[in-house]
């Protein structure tokens, strides 16, 4: 793990604090989740739900998860054997990859990628193979090239990690892209591990389609989600793995020795909110869509070329129209020069030059915080020209 020293995320947060910058780097909301959720946790703690919950998770939460996957996506899950509660999606990813990947196995990931995938593949002794998401010239979207995807598969490929809605690009895979992915998995007998933590955060009426709903995929997909993004409580670190019994059992076997179980009182509060706070979840999605637009418009005024964003907390902005080509250099300069922090997209790439001209901005912040960042960026932009 020597190559995983201090990450650029930690460095940017430190810089933001030192310069009193508006921090649009890290992806967490600056407002709380629904009141009933917070009160629920409080109540369950005071009622004495404070000892080890069952390893697989409280039955109430496993049932609530099975019900929302049925309600939203028509997926049937046996809450006893096909849903397993973990310490966040991060814990779910760790248990899944450590159980599925043997030393020397290859794992396909789309690039740019969420940073924990690479580290977990290393911990499992696997080898990562990246498939680039590239700019579609017609729409500006990040999209995959079916030929590049197929040619990345080799005899040792075992697992493909599929994150949609996608962090950091904000892309939501469409029906054609999902079908290409499913076809490659079926034809090469791959297991898909999906990261769906933004499943409720798609914009402009775009649907989130779980890969497990495509033909032949339910039996070869471990689907992962968590409460953090759905109910705006990223600090609660409660997630879940869903899928066929043998794959869920494998992840469960590993997880017994990672964290064993996750916070029980919170699980009960989350189970309630998944049933009762659907309107809050939809309102949050709509509010985030407006925040995306607010930030995108402001960034364009400040000289950036903003790429389309279909979901998540993030959008990507091209820095080349401002005369820059190195996102790390600009990300390190922005806090002191403009008083705003963002994350250089190169941090999400193995092939850093691919993302060298992009910055990732988070818009999951109060409007006044976004506005303050935009005032500062416009002032900086005018000052330079």
Ligand X SMILES: *Cc1c(COP(=O)(O)O)cnc(C)c1O
Residues at the interface with ligand X (CB under 6 A) = 88-90, 114, 163, 167, 195, 197, 226, 228, 234, 237, 239
- C-alpha of 251 from chain center: 20
326 CB-near residues (< 8 Å, 6+ apart): 356
Minimum distance, C-beta of residue 86 to ligand X, in the bound complex (Å): 8
Minimum distance, C-beta of residue 292 to ligand X, in the bound complex (Å): 15
The residue nearest ligand X at its CB is 88
In the complex with ligand X, the residue whose CB is nearer, 85 or 338, is: 85
What's the CA gap between 23 and 27, in Å, rounded? Answer: 9
Minimum distance, C-beta of residue 258 to ligand X, in the bound complex (Å): 13
Minimum distance, C-beta of residue 228 to ligand X, in the bound complex (Å): 4
What's the CA gap between 245 and 376, in Å, rounded? Answer: 52
The number of beta carbons lying within 10 Å of the beta carbon of residue 30 is: 11
In the complex with ligand X, the residue whose CB is nearer, 226 or 289, is: 226
Minimum distance, C-beta of residue 184 to ligand X, in the bound complex (Å): 21
In the complex with ligand X, the residue whose CB is nearer, 197 or 248, is: 197
Minimum distance, C-beta of residue 130 to ligand X, in the bound complex (Å): 16
> Could you tell me the two tokens for 168?
């950091």
Q: At what angle do helices 367-384 and 327-338 cross, to 10 degrees?
A: 100
In the complex with ligand X, the residue whose CB is nearer, 108 or 374, is: 108
Minimum distance, C-beta of residue 242 to ligand X, in the bound complex (Å): 14
Helices (H), the chain: 8-18, 35-46, 59-73, 88-100, 115-123, 146-151, 175-187, 227-230, 245-255, 264-276, 278-301, 327-338, 367-384
In the complex with ligand X, the residue whose CB is nearer, 99 or 169, is: 169
In the complex with ligand X, the residue whose CB is nearer, 268 or 338, is: 268
Mark 122-142 as b/e (b = at least 16 C-beta within 10 Å): eebebbbbbbbbeeeeeeebb
In the complex with ligand X, the residue whose CB is nearer, 165 or 339, is: 165
Minimum distance, C-beta of residue 115 to ligand X, in the bound complex (Å): 9
* β-strands 83-86, 22-23 pairing: unpaired
DSSP percent split of the chain into helix, strand, coil, nearest 5? 45, 15, 35
347 and 27 in contact (C-beta within 8 Å)? no
In the complex with ligand X, the residue whose CB is nearer, 89 or 327, is: 89
What's the CA gap between 8 and 347, in Å, rounded? Answer: 7
Minimum distance, C-beta of residue 54 to ligand X, in the bound complex (Å): 20
- C-alpha of 244 from chain center: 22
In the complex with ligand X, the residue whose CB is nearer, 224 or 331, is: 224
């Amino acid at each position: 793990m020597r190559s995983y020293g201090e990450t650029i995320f930690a460095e940017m947060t430190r810089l933001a604090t030192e310069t009193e910058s508006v921090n649009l780097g890290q992806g967490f909301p600056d407002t709380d989740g629904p009141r009933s959720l917070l009160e629920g946790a409080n109540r369950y703690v005071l009622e004495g739900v404070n000892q080890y919950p069952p390893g697989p998770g409280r039955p109430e939460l496993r049932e609530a998860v099975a019900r929302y996957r049925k309600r939203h996506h028509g997926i049937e899950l046996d809450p006893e054997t096909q849903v397993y509660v973990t310490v966040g999606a991060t814990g779910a990813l760790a248990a899944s990859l450590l159980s599925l990947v043997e030393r020397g196995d290859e794992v396909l990931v789309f690039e740019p990628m969420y940073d924990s995938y690479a580290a977990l593949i290393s911990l499992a002794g696997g080898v990562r193979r990246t498939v680039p998401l590239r700019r579609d010239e017609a729409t500006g979207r990040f999209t995959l090239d079916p030929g590049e995807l197929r040619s990345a598969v080799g005899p040792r490929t075992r697992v493909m990690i599929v994150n949609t809605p996608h962090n950091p690009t904000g892309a939501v895979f469409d029906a054609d892209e999902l079908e290409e992915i499913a076809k490659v998995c079926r034809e090469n007998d791959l297991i898909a591990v999906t990261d769906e933590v933004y499943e409720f955060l798609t914009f402009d009426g775009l649907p989130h389609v779980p890969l497990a709903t495509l033909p032949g995929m339910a039996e070869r997909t471990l689907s992962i989600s968590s409460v953090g993004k759905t109910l705006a409580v990223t600090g609660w670190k409660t997630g879940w793995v869903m899928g066929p019994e043998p794959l869920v059992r494998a992840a469960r076997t590993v997880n017994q020795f990672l964290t064993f179980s996750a916070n029980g009182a919170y699980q009960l509060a989350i189970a309630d909110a998944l049933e009762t706070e659907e309107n809050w979840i939809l309102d949050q999605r709509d509010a985030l869509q407006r925040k995306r637009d607010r930030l995108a418009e402001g960034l364009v005024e400040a000289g950036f070329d903003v790429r389309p964003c279909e979901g998540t907390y993030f959008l990507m902005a091209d820095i080349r129209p401002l005369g820059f080509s190195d996102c790390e250099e600009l990300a390190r300069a922005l806090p002191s020069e403009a008083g705003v922090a963002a994350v250089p997209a190169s941090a999400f790439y193995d092939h850093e030059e691919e993302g060298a001209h992009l910055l990732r901005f988070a818009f999951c912040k109060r409007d006044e915080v976004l506005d303050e960042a935009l005032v500062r960026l416009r002032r900086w932009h005018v000052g330079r020209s």
